[in-house]
Chains A and B, each alone.
Chain A
Amino acid sequence: MNSKLTSKWLARTMIYLFVIAGACVTAIPFLWMVSSSLKPLQEIFRFPPTFFPRVIRWQNYPEALTSSYVSFWVYLGNSIKLCLPIAVLDVFASALVAFGFARIRFRGSKILFFILLGTMMLPQQVTMIPLYIIFSRLGWVNTYLPIIVPAFFGWPWAIFLLRQFFATIPDDLDDAARIDGCSLPRMFFRIHLPLAKPALGIVAIFSFQGMWAEVFRPLLYLRDVELWPLALALTTYRGRMNRWDYVMVMSVIMCVFPLLLFFVAQRRYIQGIVITGVKG
């Protein structure tokens, strides 16, 4: 009995050691980013590197925000100009489509939904060249249109997530509404959309984070640096000036928004991943 207890205790200690070591390895690059963003430049270029800054230089933050020849605030504004409309469109268009798939029976709906799932695995590189040619013929290059307009047509991942959600709403509710003579669009706006608020929130958060981090399409379509979102602009801070203190400041700022969103909506957030990951 005693030896069994000791071996159990040993196993638990081992698990704790593993978990703590893993957490350290995971957290260190992140902490180092924060610590580097507070170091004076000469300490950044010090050999061997220090983990904790010897002198904490808060000045890095206001300086980095004004240093580049395009102001940080312009980039931030650009990011928001892209993220907000896209999040709204993603939520609304995807909810419409998801409702159609989840609650209305019509011929071909199964095949269509199957195709939709297929497009989730489609790499965007297959369509990017013709799309670029089309958008440039339309004169949309160097505007936000090629990035925003596709959001009008719904986002497959969100459609899938919302469909799963709508499918959990009891059928009785629809039947009751039908008997009362409620039309489908009315049913959608009055019953399902309000009930789906948590799921819509998840879609909005993921959409915002996705666009916030997006580099590829802005790189393709936006020529003027003044139009760039923060994610793309981050790469210029390093190239133009080799100011790693400012680069780290910008990286910290890039991470703050997604992390905030995560912590604010942690439970729902994890739900969203689980719904699409496990039940998919």
Chain B
Amino acid sequence: MGAIDSRLFKRNSIAKPHRQRSTLARREEWIGWLFVSPWVIGFVLLTAGPMLASLGLSFTEATLLSPPRFVGLDNYRMLFSTDEVKSLFWKSLSNTSYYVFLSVPLTVALGFAMALLLNQDLKGQGIFRTIYYLPSIMPPVAVATVWTWVFNKQYGLLNAALAWVGIEGPAWLTSVEWSKPALVISSVWTAGGGMLVFLAGLQGVPTDLYDAAKVDGAGVWSRFRHVTLPMVSSTIFFVLVTSIITSFQVFVIVFVFSGAVGGSQAGSLGGPANSTLMYVVYLYRLAFKQFRMGFASALAWIYFVILMVFTALVFKSSSAWVYYEGELLGGGDGK
């Protein structure tokens, strides 16, 4: 009885679908906007609005107390003229590039290598995966704090290990030459975060592809090169983009490494001798220690443009090396 009822009901609704659907659709349209409205309002108030405001501020001289005074392009010009500003700006830019160009390839490659190893059928696989992943769960402040102690010249573990093989370790965090490599080393320790995503990507590769390659006589290397690598290239791309964006924003490790305790010793933030002055650190110093809000806004926008151009380049390059299996199927997939 119930089955017949529902079928009748369905037939009824099919009989006059047009009017019913359009009123329903119109009402749903309105409700749809209502559901997404929290994010839309947030986007306007907390993202789009402030972005425009910071663009406006970048053409002014503004402190927190005085009203902003229009200065045209002075803030941007200052980066190329005034000596002190010029040198710090370029220094922070080169420090950030150093960090990004070393840390990103190392962490991505290491994360991928870990995933390849742990994708084998090993005893204790789960335990190894967990150990490799743990550092990326730990709060960056705690990670940085522990590493500060590992890098200690006299009492640190790293130099003790180096002494054991007969090398006298440097004063990592207080030396101008070694402070940046120290940042990179401690960031590489959290490579396990990418590993997890890579593992999922590797497990998504259909096994019949490997079987087919084997039948065709492909060895281990050529199976890796012609099956694994193309199949996980979209995962590599994702990990690459996210780690570029996060490492451009490196702040907390520098904050802890240079011993800047919330507010009190901001002078040393980015030290020693500005050797770990990252772009975001410089931005923070200008905006919230010296309260040069206008100038800092100009810097923020330059930073934004650099990051966008860089990301766009990576995206652009992706068509050359990222293989999207879904493209064939994905075309008509959109709802």
Q: Is residue B331 contacting chain A, with contact meaning CB distance below 8 A?
A: no
Given A129-B57, A251-B145: A19 in contact with B296 (beta carbons within 8 A): no
Which residues of chain A are within 8 angstroms of B117 by Cβ–Cβ distance? 15, 18-19, 22
Residue of B at shortest CB range from A167? B335
Looking at A54-62, A67-75, A119-127, the stretch in contact with chain B turns out to be A119-127
In contact, A238 and B145 (Cβ under 8 angstroms)? yes
Looking at B38-46, B80-88, B222-230, the stretch in contact with chain A turns out to be B38-46
> Which listed residue, B10, B36, B142, touches A254 by the CB 8 Å rule?
B142
Residue of B at shortest CB range from A11? B220
In the bound assembly, the distance between CA atoms of A48 and B155 in angstroms comes to 7
Looking at B98-106, B176-184, B206-214, B246-254, the stretch in contact with chain A turns out to be B246-254
Q: Is residue A173 contacting chain B, with contact meaning CB distance below 8 A?
A: no
* Interface mask (B277-320 → A, CB under 8 Å = 1, otherwise 0): 00010010001100001001100110110010001000000000
Q: How far is the CB of B237 from chain A (nearest CB, A)?
A: 10
In contact, A184 and B28 (Cβ under 8 angstroms)? yes
Given A48-B163, A127-B46, A234-B142: A121 in contact with B245 (beta carbons within 8 A): yes
In contact, B262 and A219 (Cβ under 8 angstroms)? yes
Number of B residues near A (Cβ < 8 Å) is 99
Given A32-B150, A49-B155: A104 in contact with B262 (beta carbons within 8 A): no
Q: Is residue B259 contacting chain A, with contact meaning CB distance below 8 A?
A: yes
In contact, A259 and B42 (Cβ under 8 angstroms)? no
Q: How far is the CB of A238 from chain B (nearest CB, A)?
A: 7
Q: Is residue B72 contacting chain A, with contact meaning CB distance below 8 A?
A: no
In the bound assembly, the distance between CA atoms of A33 and B186 in angstroms comes to 14
Q: How far is the CB of A225 from chain B (nearest CB, A)?
A: 8
Number of A residues near B (Cβ < 8 Å) is 97
Question: Which residues of A123-164 have CB atoms within 8 Å of chain B's CB atoms?
Answer: 123-134, 136, 150, 152-154, 156, 159
Q: Is residue A66 contacting chain B, with contact meaning CB distance below 8 A?
A: no
Q: Is residue A196 contacting chain B, with contact meaning CB distance below 8 A?
A: no
A-B contact pairs, 18 of them (CB 8 A): A19-B128, A22-B128, A22-B132, A23-B131, A26-B131, A27-B131, A29-B146, A30-B138, A32-B150, A33-B149, A97-B36, A127-B47, A129-B296, A235-B141, A248-B149, A254-B142, A274-B196, A278-B197
Q: Is residue A215 contacting chain B, with contact meaning CB distance below 8 A?
A: yes
The list of the 8 closest CB pairs from A to B, nearest first, reads A153-B42, A100-B35, A239-B261, A106-B32, A213-B139, A104-B32, A277-B197, A130-B53
Q: Is residue B192 contacting chain A, with contact meaning CB distance below 8 A?
A: yes
Which residues of chain B are within 8 angstroms of A97 by Cβ–Cβ distance? 35-36, 38-39
Q: How far is the CB of B258 from chain A (nearest CB, A)?
A: 11
Given A97-B36, A115-B43, A125-B283: A29 in contact with B139 (beta carbons within 8 A): no
In the bound assembly, the distance between CA atoms of A215 and B117 in angstroms comes to 34
Which residues of chain B are within 8 angstroms of A274 by Cβ–Cβ distance? 196-197, 200
Q: How far is the CB of A106 from chain B (nearest CB, A)?
A: 3
* Interface mask (A193-230 → B, CB under 8 Å = 1, otherwise 0): 00000000000000001001101100110010100100
In contact, B261 and A280 (Cβ under 8 angstroms)? no
> Which listed residue, B142, B147, B160, B189, touches A48 by the CB 8 Å rule?
B160
Which residues of chain B are within 8 angstroms of A130 by Cβ–Cβ distance? 49-51, 53-54, 57, 297
Q: How far is the CB of B197 from chain A (nearest CB, A)?
A: 4
Q: Is residue A93 contacting chain B, with contact meaning CB distance below 8 A?
A: yes
> Which listed residue, A133, A178, A215, A277, touches B200 by the CB 8 Å rule?
A277
Q: Is residue B23 contacting chain A, with contact meaning CB distance below 8 A?
A: no
In the bound assembly, the distance between CA atoms of A241 and B156 in angstroms comes to 18
Residue of A at shortest CB range from B145? A251
Binding site for B on A (CB under 8 A): 15-16, 18-19, 22-23, 26-30, 32-33, 36, 44-49, 51, 93, 96-97, 99-101, 104-107, 109-110, 112, 115-116, 119, 121-134, 136, 150, 152-154, 156, 159, 178-179, 184-185, 188, 209, 212-213, 215-216, 219-220, 223, 225, 228, 231-232, 234-236, 238-240, 244, 247-248, 251, 254-255, 258-259, 262, 266, 270, 273-274, 277-278, 280
Q: Is residue B22 contacting chain A, with contact meaning CB distance below 8 A?
A: no
In the bound assembly, the distance between CA atoms of A238 and B152 in angstroms comes to 13
Q: How far is the CB of A131 from chain B (nearest CB, A)?
A: 5
> Which listed residue, B30, B42, B262, touches A154 by the CB 8 Å rule?
B42
Which residues of chain A are within 8 angstroms of B303 by Cβ–Cβ distance? 123, 125-126
Q: How far is the CB of A247 from chain B (nearest CB, A)?
A: 6
In contact, B64 and A107 (Cβ under 8 angstroms)? no
In the bound assembly, the distance between CA atoms of A36 and B201 in angstroms comes to 38
In contact, B146 and A15 (Cβ under 8 angstroms)? no
In contact, B35 and A104 (Cβ under 8 angstroms)? yes
Could you say which of A49, A216, A228 has the most chain B C-beta atoms within 10 Å of its C-beta?
Answer: A49
Given A23-B131, A238-B145, A240-B261: A99 in contact with B35 (beta carbons within 8 A): yes
Residue of A at shortest CB range from B147? A29
In the bound assembly, the distance between CA atoms of A159 and B40 in angstroms comes to 12
> Which listed residue, B131, B265, B300, touches A129 by the CB 8 Å rule?
B300
Which residues of chain A are within 8 angstroms of B134 by Cβ–Cβ distance? 26-27, 30, 259, 262
In the bound assembly, the distance between CA atoms of A145 and B256 in angstroms comes to 26
In the bound assembly, the distance between CA atoms of A126 and B249 in angstroms comes to 11
Residue of B at shortest CB range from A213? B139
